Amino acid sequence: MSRIHQIVPETATGKAKELLATVQQAFGMVPNTARVMANSPAVLDSFLAFSTAMGGARIGTKLHNQLKLTTSETNSCSYCTSILSAVAPSAGLTVEDVLAGRTGHSEDRHTKAALGFANDVLESRGKVSDKQLAAVREAGFGDAEIVEIVASVVLGCFTNFLNNVADTDLDIPKAEPLAARSIS
């Protein structure tokens, strides 16, 4: 049971009601994480604006979602890992892409570099070395894309931390644990 109250869209009022209606219209449902965020309309509004803006990122929706998957696994957020895995096909991710995001490993050199840099950002809390920054640049990422990788990690951390604090009830199928998958 969630440790933070989840706002019920049907009984919400004011800005929370308006924002939850926007979520319903966009997704065809109101995920429990949005119901938790609706306790503070400023938080839900900010999350929606940040998420929407990242839809136009140069790194693309697919890599953005893989980076959030890497972040969710690192932060042990089963809610985020589950919802990101469930919506993966609509974001253009294959089963292999989801696995790459969750494990932080990819056969694609470009994706591998981005996922590795995201891991470096997470492990160092943003205090990456010159060598780590040079490595992601050598893989073809410019300053705009590096900023977007960091933003993807930060957005992932926000939802991970909130859902971990709230112990948000899963309202989507739970992602299979990585240990249960064969990873080669």
pLDDT tens for 27-38 read 899 999 999 999
Q: Once rounded to an integer, what is the mean pLDDT over residues 126-151?
A: 98
Q: Describe the crossing of helices 143-166 and 60-74 by its angle, rounded to 10 degrees.
A: 40
Superfamily of domain 60-178: AhpD-like (1.20.1290.10)
In terms of Cα–Cα distance, which of 118, 112, 106, 108 is closest to 160?
118
- In terms of phi and psi (left: phi > 0; alpha: psi -120 to 50; beta: otherwise), the region of 52 is alpha
Give the confidence band of 184 by pLDDT, cuts at 50, 70, 90: very low
CATH match of 9-54 with 1.20.5: yes
C-alpha to C-alpha distances, 48 to 26, 36, 40, 54, 111, nearest whole angstrom:
11, 13, 13, 10, 26
Q: Are 106 and 100 in contact (CB under 8 A)?
A: yes
| pLDDT tens-digit map of 2-32 | 899 999 999 999 999 999 999 999 889 999 9
Instruction: Report the distance separating Cα 34 and Cα 101, nearest Å.
Output: 23
For the chain, which residues make up each domain, given as ranges? 9-54, 60-178
Instruction: Evaluate whether 54 touches 47 at the Cβ level (below 8 Å).
Output: no
- The winner for highest mean pLDDT among 88-92, 118-122, 171-175 is 118-122
Give the E-state strand segments of the chain in sequence order: none
